[in-house]
Each structure stands twice: as C-alpha cells, then as structure tokens.
Amino acid sequence: MFFNKIYSEIGRLFWKPRWDHPSLSKISHDISKPFENCIADFDDAEINASFNNDNKEWYHHEQIYILHKKNLIEPSKKICIKGFRTLILESFSSGKDKPSLYKYLIFKLTFKKKTKIDKAILFDGTLGLNYFHFFSDILNKIWLLEKLDFEEDIPLIIPKETFEKTYFQYFYNNTELKNKNWIVQDSNSWIEVNSLHLIKAFPYEKTYWKKTVNLINKVHDGVYKNIFLSRSMKAGRYLKNMDTIAAVLRRHHFEIIDTENMSFENQVDTFAQAGVIISIHGAGNTNIIFSDWEKIRFVEILPSNRLTAHYYWLTQSLGISYDVIKGGALDENNAFELSPELLEKAIQKINK
C-alpha cells in the first residue's frame, strides 16, 4: 500500500496534463443542453429534483480536434503523450485515467519499436469496455464520421480489449463495420501518429442510435413479454430482498433474467420481444434500444444514493415510455432493498 502511494505520487509529479496544446486544431465543436427543457414529473420528488438538476446542468459535446506533429498513443490507457511527459487531456476517456509510468519509462529506456502512422482517429480509449458507453460514446462516432463525409479508409485506433468484446465482434463480423480500417492496439503496442484526430459524438442523438439498431437482425415472434432484468451479487448493485421482489414479479407473469452470461445475440432477441421491462440500473439497460420503441414500457430501479439520468435521457431521445422507482441506499456490499409495495404500484400503473 505504501509503495503504491509513492508510485502514484511520482506519477502525479511526472506527468503534465494539459488542455489546448499549441499543436491542437479545433475543426468543429458543438455544445448543447438537449434536455434543458425536459421536466421530470415522477412519483418521487427526490428523483424529480435530481433529474431536473441534471437536465439543466449537463452540457453535451460533439467535436473534432486534430493534433499535429508526433503524437504518441501509449498502450495502457490509450492516451496521447506529446513531447516527453505532456498528457493531452482531450484524448482522455476518463478524467481519472493516467498512463502506466513504468511502461512508459521502459519504452523510452529500451528504445522499443513504435508503429508510425501519418493520420488516424483515436476511436476509443477505455470507454468501449463499458457496454452502455460503447454504444453512446464510441459507436456513435461512426455515424458522426459518416455525417461529415469523412474519408472511408482513415485508420481507426481501437484497443484490443474493446475489439475482442463480444458485442464489438458481432458488429465487426456481421455488419459494414468490418470494412473500416481498424488498427488494433494491444497492451504492448506504441503508436505514433503525425495527424491524430480526436472526435466526440453527441451521446443521445436519436439518428445515431437508429443507425446502430438498423445494423442488427432482430427476431420477434409477435408476442410481447414482461421482463425483469436482475443483477448478481458479483455484478453489484443487486437487491438484498430479491426473494420478496421475485414473488411480486411471478404474480404479474414477469420473466426474470440476467444479461451477465447472455450472448449479445440473445440479449438483442430478448429485448426485441419485450413489452414491459423493469430493471435495476446498469449497463444491461442499454438493450432497450433493441425493443419496439413505440410499444415498450420501461421502468428503472435506482438506489437512493445513485440517482443517475442516463437512461432517462436515452428514453427521452428515443421516445420510449419511462418510469422510475427509488430503492434504498447502496450498502458497503453494493446491495440495496426495494419496497415490494412500490414495485406493485409501478406494475399497476403500467397495466392501467
């Protein structure tokens, strides 16, 4: 623990994070508050206050920047390094990311080889490892490039970890995405790009999500099911009183599922056949995009100390019916309780 703190402090002193580097050109930058005029009006006043605050506070960005003259993409977090120790903050997937100082010094001291590319897009850092952010923040970049009529064969740098995810492999093997010029960067590959494009797409743009869904062959047998999306203890954010909640769900003919061990194709088909989805907040909720947007009724369960508007915003964008239930607070085991009475009330509301 002591040595970890020392190492972290050395890294903090060594790296020089910077915005607006002199070699950065801002080609375009759109900024908006697309949900500023949305008014949350649910049964819980605390949720309404939280959502309405987020609606007014959060800016959403769409941008294309270009970094000129020797940009080194390091392999641990896929962050751009300029000069000897300057980190380009516009290349960060997360504000908490920092490259591995150990790997960097070994690279410098042993004169390891690097792949040199004239120009490329840093398509993903680490965000694509999260299922929701893969769709909202990463895949949407494809549609932004298409909208701006970018050259088809420009290289797209993607981490090997994201490339090997089953959901990315589905798109890679079954859709037009295979034709893109992918450069897969593993944990030992250093890439130098002379003209590095850093792009960000609006995460809740309906036309982008529609293009993604149109790539998928969904199976629907004409019967709409009631589905409850649960979470395991391993995944965290699970219900401590699931046995009690399951009894309510069975009484209303809900099928209880967990997407953790489902194939991507199975998730798509399951949600395509859903008429009602009640779900604990989590990345699996992203699958609502594969449902019938006009018919689906989606109810999200949020712990009282994790009131997040991500899926509220997504449903607002796609025109999906949305409701929300507030559970108890997450405890030290990342578990919480849900009132069976509140669940019963939400289901009765759906059935009116």
Query: Mean pLDDT in the chain?
Result: 94
**Cα dist from 51 to 66, 82, 316, whole Å:** 34, 39, 12
Q: Residue 117 above 90 pLDDT?
A: yes
118 and 17 housed in the same domain = yes
Q: Residue 175 above 90 pLDDT?
A: yes
Asked whether residue 143 is domain-assigned, the answer is yes
Question: Strands of 297-302's sheet, edge to edge?
Answer: 254-257, 225-229, 274-280, 297-302, 321-326
Cα–Cα nearest to 191, from 158, 151, 142: 158
The whole-number pLDDT of residue 158 equals 97
Reported confidence tier of residue 12, pLDDT bands at 50, 70, 90:
confident
3-state percent breakdown (helix, strand, coil) of the chain, nearest 5: 40, 25, 35
Asked whether residue 49 is domain-assigned, the answer is no
166 token code pair: 């089953």
Q: Residue 94 above 90 pLDDT?
A: no
Question: Pick from 184, 213, 242: which residue ends a domain?
Answer: 213
178 and 271 housed in the same domain = no
Asked whether residue 133 is domain-assigned, the answer is yes
191 and 301 housed in the same domain = no
Q: What is the mean pLDDT of residues 67-81?
A: 95
How many independent structural domains does the chain possess?
Answer: 2
Q: What is the rounded distance in angstroms from the CA atom of residue 306 to the CA atom of residue 303?
A: 5
φ and ψ of 21, to 5 deg: -65, 145
Range of the domain at 133: 2-42+61-213
195 and 279 housed in the same domain = no
The whole-number pLDDT of residue 217 equals 80
208 and 238 housed in the same domain = no
More confident residue, 97 or 250: 250
Q: Residue 201 above 90 pLDDT?
A: yes
Each residue's pLDDT tens digit, 282-327 = 999 999 999 999 999 999 999 999 999 999 999 999 999 999 999 9
Contact 37, 131 (CB under 8 A): no
The whole-number pLDDT of residue 1 equals 67
Asked whether residue 120 is domain-assigned, the answer is yes
Asked whether residue 233 is domain-assigned, the answer is yes
172 token code pair: 């890679």
Question: Pick from 186, 213, 240: which residue ends a domain?
Answer: 213
Residue 299's DSSP bridge partners are 278, 323
CATH number where 268 lies: 3.40.50.360
Contact 188, 111 (CB under 8 A): no
Cα–Cα nearest to 341, from 352, 325, 330: 325
Reported confidence tier of residue 2, pLDDT bands at 50, 70, 90:
low
φ and ψ of 18, to 5 deg: -150, 135
More confident residue, 317 or 2: 317
How many residues comprise the chain? 352
Cα–Cα nearest to 319, from 293, 282, 347: 293
Q: What is the rounded distance in angstroms from the CA atom of residue 127 to the CA atom of residue 133?
A: 6
* Burial class of 74 by CB neighbour count within 10 A (0 to 12, 13 to 18, 19+): buried
Question: Pick from 172, 192, 213: which residue ends a domain?
Answer: 213
Asked whether residue 33 is domain-assigned, the answer is yes
How is 190-251 classified by DSSP, letter by letter? -EEEEEEEEEE--TT-HHHHHHHHTTS-----S--EEEEE---TTTSSEETTHHHHHHHHHH
209 and 231 housed in the same domain = no
114 and 195 housed in the same domain = yes
Q: What is the mean pLDDT of residues 2-14?
A: 79
Each residue's pLDDT tens digit, 125-173 = 999 999 999 999 999 999 999 999 998 899 999 999 999 999 999 999 9
More confident residue, 293 or 8: 293
178 and 259 housed in the same domain = no
Each residue's pLDDT tens digit, 241-292 = 999 999 999 999 999 999 988 999 999 999 999 999 999 999 999 999 999 9
Asked whether residue 54 is domain-assigned, the answer is no
185 and 285 housed in the same domain = no
Asked whether residue 287 is domain-assigned, the answer is yes
207 and 239 housed in the same domain = no
125 and 261 housed in the same domain = no
Residue 16, number of CB atoms within 10 A of its CB? 12
205 and 265 housed in the same domain = no
